Amino acid sequence: MSIIKLLSLSLIVLLSACGASQPPPYQKDRTPEDRDQYSGAEGLNQQQKDQTYLMDKELSDKCTAAKIDLAITEADNNASEIKKQNDLISSTCI
């Protein structure tokens, strides 16, 4: 291999390794609802945290909605709906 080829190859490898910037592990400036890019081990860890947060938030929102609906059905004195809402509260409110 000629010296020019060897130097060229070394220079390419050096520039590739040094010049390449790694993407951030996740979009720290966004809320978990708005993040859509994760990379590396830190990004994977954050993605799992975000998914857990989003599932917990969805469950909490369902619980809150069921409690509001229960109050409305109690005001209407609708026994069958009251039972449905109580069942929903039992399954969503922890």
Q: How do residues 41-67 score in pLDDT, each as one tens digit? A: 999 999 999 999 999 999 999 999 999
Res. 88 pLDDT band, cuts 50 70 90 = very high
CB contact burial 26-48 (16+ within 10 A = b; e otherwise): bbeeeebeebeebeeeebeebbe
pLDDT at position 71 over 90: yes
Please compute the mean of the pLDDT values over residues 19-23 and round it to a whole number. 69
Report the SS3 class of residue 65. helix
Report the SS3 class of residue 77. coil
**Angle of CA points 81, 85, 87, to nearest 5°:** 115
**Contacts of 79 by beta carbon, 8 Å cutoff, 6+ apart:** none
Using a cut of 0.85, tell me whether the model's pTM lies above it. no
Res. 13 pLDDT band, cuts 50 70 90 = low
Amino acid identity, residue 26?
Y
In sequence order, which ranges of the chain are alpha helices (DSSP H)? 3-19, 40-76, 79-92
